[in-house]
Amino acid sequence: MSSGKRPTGPRLRTRIGLVVAALAILVAAVVGVALITPTFIDDTGTDVALAPEPAPILPAPAVVPVSPDAPVPSPAGLQAVLTPALQNPDLGRFTGTVADAATGQVLWSVDADSPMTPASTTKILTAAAAMMALPADHRVTTKVVAGEAPGQVVLTGEGDPTLTAEPVGRPGFYDGGARIDDLAEQIRKTGTAVTSIAVDGSAYTGPSSAQGWFPADVAAGYIAPIEPVTLDGGRSVPTVDESPRSATPGLDAGRALARALGLDPAIVTDGRAQQGAGSLATVQSAPLRQRLSQMLGFSDNVLAEAVGREVAESQGGPASFDGATAAVLSVLTKNGVDVSGVVLEDTSGLSVDNLIPSRVLGQIVTTAAGGGEQTLRPMLDYLPVAGATGTLAARYASGDRTAAGWLRAKTGTLSTASALAGYVVDQSGRVLTFALMSNDRPPEVGRPALDALASTLRSCGCT
């Protein structure tokens, strides 16, 4: 036990002396180490001095802003470098346009007013209209309400194909998708003894397939009937993009809910929710900005049709093919996009009857890339990266990799149509926007020809 008295006299001086001595030894050791040049003895017995350590290498940022002073390509320079690539017969019937992103000036074009089959570059129009008409955090609701008969519940949706029946902890196809398991858990918490499930598909009107679609596309994994209650875009294998799609997506969702509740899927039928029926469970989709990224990145047709209907409802129109296409064109027109020459039968681009001039695609992408426009600016981040992500992951990944990492674009592919619409940084550091469209050639021919043309833009220093 300490007495609390401070030591004095020789005992304190001894401690101070020991401390001073220890410090002196430590300083001497450090100085000695610092003054000694490290050496080792080689095989001949000769002392060899080690080279001093090199200066540390500091990481430099790999992604830096483009210079605002980068020179703008001249129209004549662009014409000179693009003309040889345009001689490729694999381009078929071709139209295209190239513009300076910063100024919006069109630097080069070929038949840019000619309507062409756009394939999935149609989604550029759908995304732009959605961003203009809806808040970025807009969500879509799926809910379960009490049915008319005792023990009956009704599954009803506003149109969220990102809903998944995959259990918690296992991903569905879409990141952030709502879950059937969450609906089931909420129902159980209400104490409702469920004896039957009805699925209400009345939120959408009109046909479930568009003009210009082919029935075989369902089994091929490109599309499902467009219904307001759908799991994983109708995919039979939820995590496989082009797995065969369901012909009855709404009923499939109801059966998944039955299984989640431990019930026989045979209790599921079509039905209607009563006006003012009490809600038993509710889930919501991811925000619009996240769904648009998925829609453009993976060219998701079912999701694009759902987003088109969201635009229609925001404009007071019917949630149908006619309502969605009319609303998309109306919103674009109100926001200064010249849609003359555009014909839309759907909002995904799967219809072979769609027509869009390259001028329209180019105008939208250039507006997104322009320095003063903020509404469409996020679209630039939604586009696939050449040789890296989404539908461009396998393109520019081998062979000519000139544009890999430097180009981002929405792709479009049908049996006789290919298209690219996006932007690229040229050799001078200038950002160029472009829309390139090829018709009357199969994709295995047309796509490589378009890729080569876009690579020419990347390699250009056409001042």
pLDDT tier at 1, thresholds 50, 70, 90:
very low
pLDDT digits (tens, 9 = 90+) for 11-49: 333 333 333 333 333 333 333 333 344 554 545 565 666
- Distance, CA of 208 to CA of 215 (rounded, Å): 11
Res 33: pLDDT = 37
Q: Which two tokens stand for residue 306?
A: 């759902």
- Distance, CA of 364 to CA of 434 (rounded, Å): 10
Task: Single out the catalytic residue among 109, 123, 293, 410.
Answer: 123
Task: Single out the catalytic residue among 299, 320, 438, 455.
Answer: 299
Single out the residue of 70, 85, 76 nearest to residue 456, CA to CA: 85
- Distance, CA of 257 to CA of 127 (rounded, Å): 31
- Distance, CA of 110 to CA of 108 (rounded, Å): 7
3 catalytic, yes or no? no
Provide the total of helices (H) and of strands (E) in the chain, helices listed first.
12, 16
Beta carbons within 8 Å of 463's beta carbon, 6+ residues apart: 71, 72, 73, 74, 77, 428
CA atoms 178, 181, 186, 187: torsion sign: positive
pLDDT digits (tens, 9 = 90+) for 67-96: 888 999 999 999 999 999 999 999 999 999
Answer yes or no: is pLDDT of 308 > 60: yes
Res 10: pLDDT = 38
pTM for the complete prediction?
A: 0.86
Kindly report each contact of residues 207-210 with a partner whose C-beta sits within 8 Å and lies 24 or more positions away, as own/partner.
Answer: 207/320, 207/321, 210/305, 210/321, 210/345, 210/346, 210/350, 210/351
pLDDT digits (tens, 9 = 90+) for 387-433: 999 999 999 988 889 999 999 999 999 999 999 999 999 999 999 99
pLDDT digits (tens, 9 = 90+) for 178-200: 999 999 999 999 999 999 999 99
pLDDT tier at 461, thresholds 50, 70, 90:
confident
Alpha-carbon Rg for the chain, nearest whole angstrom, is 32
- Distance, CA of 231 to CA of 245 (rounded, Å): 10
Res 59: pLDDT = 72
**Could you tell me what percent of the chain has a pLDDT over 90?**
81
Given a contact cutoff of 8 angstroms between Cβ atoms, the answer to whether 201 and 324 are in contact is: no
User: Whole-number mean pLDDT of the chain?
Assistant: 89
- Distance, CA of 54 to CA of 420 (rounded, Å): 48
pLDDT tier at 66, thresholds 50, 70, 90:
confident
246 catalytic, yes or no? no
- Per 3-state DSSP, the chain is made up of helix, strand and coil in percentages (nearest 5) of 35, 20, 45
Res 371: pLDDT = 66
pLDDT digits (tens, 9 = 90+) for 121-164: 999 999 999 999 999 999 999 999 999 999 999 999 999 999 99
Q: Residue ranges of the alpha helices (H) in 208-247? A: 216-220
pLDDT digits (tens, 9 = 90+) for 236-290: 999 999 999 999 999 999 999 999 999 999 999 999 999 999 999 999 999 999 9
351 catalytic, yes or no? no
